A and B are shown apart, each in its own frame.
Chain A
């Protein structure tokens, strides 16, 4: 009798606790709300410290910072405590602490969480304008209009002005500047990077007219040769590997099949105008052809048989292990991704090519003028510090030689190419034509037309030094990286621009519409799922793609298009 009562009691307890576990989802959301009350107290903390600041002591600044995986710091340095941070702290009399740090997508999740808790650090980077807007609507961030006017240096203002208002327009809400935008120059195409040491070894020759353009057939042929001959005797060789998402909204999407699509006239994940109508690039007829090419490669075994489950890190490993010798990516991947190949094999060399369409033109699209935004908490009493940090890093550090003499450890950071994400703000603020402007200095310096001292920016000066050293036989990894990213990557963009080989598309950059908010995530799922299935042959290209277009329109795509069209009017 007693025992059965006990059993019952345990039963009830377990039952109740399990039920509670089942409601855990909703309870999590509620606890996040509790955090919003907590924000008031953190605001009070700031008040105390800033009062101290006005008496000439150190002002505390908490930050949310997006980091990068595999960044090599000099011994002992971290994201929170490195030469750049120390310089900012010393110059501006502040103390920077990181409230949160995270890589890539994880960072966006951190921002989401901070936003839902209503408790944000004094300054943080956010990646999208929608987040800025949400922060603005929730009244969490400060209006920077006044401090920008007062504190921003003339140079900094001229950089933003080079976008003819497009940069500032993006961050202006109801006439107020709500964020410091990172600028976004055109990134150029997704370059085809091919192991040139292998091509030499196997006696392969492409691009005989030396214009930097090759065709889809060339890529296919090279991939086949690399697989057959396997120059590094690696196990499980792979012709071409692609990331699971296959296409990217950025023209230069690394590990994406963008360049194949662009060469066929398709612009995946792009809103654009065509014959007076708004269209979505992924649903175009040309996209189907691009998928047909990839699917053909999959059947022939040129495309990685594990495409879809092969992660970003896996693909990097394929390249580093010499299992794969062709990849697609932006001009600066030698600095942070292909350097992994060099680390394992110092004989590795890459050549950069662009994929041309049937008319010999390289299709590419313009970027939005801004990318990455620094927002300042409404509760932070010194919003001008954000502008001062920007002045320091995007004006003084770029233009002043004295600053580097004053801070030799920063000079060595620049010289060693320690990643820019280690600066307090992980955004870039460059003038619209900066990429090619900077390169022209570098090129003239390497040609001997000007001396290193005459190069305008400190970053390019250090690039010039390390590239010259590399060309003279120094096997330093930075030299290898900079040589490949500049003298190969940017050089290609420069050549194509000079010879007028680019055919530019200006996409539409719509605000998030109501239907996008509710349906876009689902549409993206539909797109990714269908595309990977088409490529791996799970569904037929013709009928599968047609079905996709129908479903896409039916599940909200059509609605979104009409909403964007309305926005444009």
Chain B
């Protein structure tokens, strides 16, 4: 009797959930169509791909393109540049976004809070093609920033034409563009923290700093870990459109990253297989980092991302 009832409930439950499954279906369909099927293209990395011969008739060359990639004289420098810029963006971007979320959460006037939030995340929606000209006008040798420097008696800095400053400019402008948008998720994490904890802490005489440090941050930790692990997967992509629109041969030394390099050598030179090989390598590195980050968080905090 008991069992029967149970079974009946499951069937009913399943039926009522059918509609949800249907809702997932279109998304899943597109995911398979545009993300899983194209993965077959990975074969290209092991071939000398000729478009007319197609994916299955091009000649197999094994690891030729991978070996070539690691023999390129500049590859070490380029991977280094990529990681410096990607890590810089990740670290500074997260710190700023978290700090901003915590501060924004303190604003009690709802109107103010919404306005500030909107203003700050708007740049996220602008394309780098547009923003690049803004950056060039601000930081060029005759730009506003340098005019300000001259007016207070400092030397001009050639932001866009100096290998030393360029990565900083790239990281800085990217953080400025994205921190508002990425703070949204941290803000959500903060609001989900039980207010009771804050009340209890206040009762015990904890200062604002103490509460941030001992209540807010620990409450956000799972999300912070999740985001870190996610961001780690893109460690080998430092943002093509931003750098492509701002760099020049004069800053290749520190500004040429994997994406831009592969673009120049691979696509413009029509070396498809080489491009695919680099893409595959990058995915493998990203996946390895994601898995190890997951294992590490499990070990350290006993929480798993997936």
A: which residues have CB within 8 A of B? 7-8, 11-12, 14-15, 17-33, 36, 108-109, 112, 115-118, 134, 137-140, 236, 244-245, 305-306, 308-309, 517-518, 521-522, 525-526, 528-529, 532-533, 536, 538, 551, 555
Contacts and interface: CB of A to CB of B under 8 A. Distances in A.
B128 interface: no
Given A7-B222, A15-B230, A19-B283, A109 B267 contact: yes
A555 to B, nearest CB: 5
Contacts of B234: 18, 21-22
A30 B40 contact: yes
Contacts of B38: 26-28, 30-31
A244 B247 CA distance: 11
A28 B267 CA distance: 11
Contacts of B252: 525, 529
A241 to B, nearest CB: 12
B41 A29 contact: yes
A532 B305 contact: no
Interface stretch (B48-56, B94-102, B111-119, B194-202): B48-56
Contact of A26 (B42, B141, B233, B304): B42
Contacts of B256: 525
Given A529-B252, A529-B253, A139 B52 contact: yes
B230 A18 contact: yes
B306 interface: yes
Given A26-B39, A108-B268, A536 B51 contact: no
A387 B41 CA distance: 39
Contact of A551 (B73, B248, B272): B73
B161 interface: yes
Contacts of B265: 521-522
Contacts of A109: 267-268
Given A33-B54, A308-B249, 4 more contacts: A23-B280, A29-B276, A30-B44, A306-B161
B146 to A, nearest CB: 11
B74 to A, nearest CB: 7
B275 A25 contact: yes
Contacts of B39: 23, 26-27, 30
Nearest to A551: B73
Most chain B beta-carbon contacts within 10 A, residue among A7, A30, A138: A30
B52 A36 contact: yes
Contacts, number: 171
B270 interface: yes
Mostly, the A contact residues are helix
Contacts of A112: 267-268, 270
Contact of B50 (A25, A138, A306): A138
B270 A15 contact: no
B9 interface: no
Given A27-B34, A29-B41, A118-B52, A529 B163 contact: no
B50 A137 contact: yes
Contacts of A522: 72-74, 265
B270 A115 contact: yes
Contacts of B272: 29, 32, 116
13 contacts: A12-B306, A14-B226, A15-B230, A18-B233, A19-B283, A19-B287, A19-B290, A24-B279, A30-B38, A32-B51, A108-B268, A522-B265, A532-B248
B267 A555 contact: no
Contacts of B304: 8
A128 B304 CA distance: 55
A560 to B, nearest CB: 15
Nearest to A34: B38
Contacts of A7: 222
Interface residues of B, number: 64
B91 to A, nearest CB: 18
B250 A244 contact: yes
Nearest to A39: B52
Contact of B248 (A26, A30, A308, A521): A308
Pairs of residues from A and B, 3 with the lowest C-beta to C-beta distance, nearest first: A30-B41, A25-B279, A27-B38
Contacts of B180: none
A33 B229 CA distance: 33
B85 interface: no
Contacts of A33: 41, 44, 51, 54-55
Interface string B23-44: 0000000010011011111101
B45 interface: yes
A528 B264 CA distance: 13
B220 interface: no
B305 A15 contact: yes
A29 B163 CA distance: 32
A308 B41 CA distance: 38
Contact of A11 (B37, B41, B305): B305
B140 interface: yes
Interface string B270-306: 1110011011101100110010000000000000111
Interface in B219-268: 222, 226, 229-230, 233-234, 237, 248-250, 252-253, 256, 262, 264-265, 267-268
Contacts of A23: 35, 39, 42, 279-280, 283
Contacts of A134: 270
Contact of B306 (A8, A25, A532, A533): A8
B160 interface: yes
Contacts of B163: 538
Contacts of A118: 51-52
Given A15-B290, A116-B51, A525 B74 contact: yes
B140 A306 contact: yes
A305 B141 contact: yes
Contacts of A25: 262, 275-276, 278-279, 282
B269 interface: yes
Contacts of B248: 244, 308-309, 532
Contact of A14 (B161, B230, B237): B230
A11 B306 contact: yes
Contact of A532 (B52, B55, B249, B283): B249
B54 A36 contact: yes
B173 interface: no
Contacts of A305: 141, 158
Contact of A117 (B51, B160, B249): B51
Contacts of A18: 230, 233-234, 290
B68 interface: yes
B59 interface: no
